[in-house]
Amino acid sequence: MMREPREIQDGPAGSFAYDLAWTAAQDVSDRLARSVVVTDHVTAVTVHAPATADFELTDASGAVVASATVTARTSATIPLEVAPGTTLTAQGRFTWVLVLDDEPGFLARVAPRRTDVEPLVVEVGQRPYVGPVAVRED
C-alpha cells in the first residue's frame, strides 16, 4: 500500500488528506517476464524483491529505462519518465507496479501481466457420436 498526503482544500488550515493505493499480490515463482503498457500520469515504478537482486525495466527495444539493486525483503520506488503507450518488461522474482500520480490527489497502480502463452497439452481422439436416444413406446 502507498499513502500520499495532500493539503485539504475545504477544511481546517494545515490539515492533510491521504490518497491510498493498494498493490495486488503477484505470483513471481515462475520468474517469467511480465509486461505492462504505460498510461498517462505514470511517475515511477515500485519494485519489491524477496532476495537481493538487480531489477531492470526495459522498453520494447530492450533499452533499460529504470534499474536498481533491491535488497532482500525491501521495496524501492524508482522515478520513471516514459511516454504513454510504451511497453515495459521486467523478468525475475520481483513484484513490481507502475505508479500513477496526478494532482490534486489521484493515486493508482498498474500491474504487469505475463505475455507468453502457457503450454497446454490437448489430446484429440475419434470416438463414436452419442446422438439423441430414441424412446420406445409400447
Q: If we measure between CA atoms, which residue out of 121, 69, 120 comes closest to residue 94?
A: 69
Query: Strand, coil or helix: what is 128?
Result: coil
In a domain, 119, yes or no: no
User: Considering its fold, how many domains does the chain have in total?
Assistant: 1
Residues of the chain with pLDDT > 90, as a percent, come to 50
In a domain, 136, yes or no: no
When comparing pLDDT for 5 and 115, which is higher?
Answer: 115
CA 40 – CA 21 distance, rounded (Å): 16
In a domain, 60, yes or no: yes
Asked if pLDDT for residue 133 goes beyond 70, the answer is no
Each residue of 106-123: pLDDT tens digit? 778 899 998 887 788 888
In a domain, 129, yes or no: no
Domain coverage including residue 105 = 2-8+16-24+33-113
- Please give the pLDDT value at position 12: 83
Contacts with 23 (C-beta within 8 Å, 6 or more apart), sequence order: 1, 2, 46, 95, 97, 109, 111
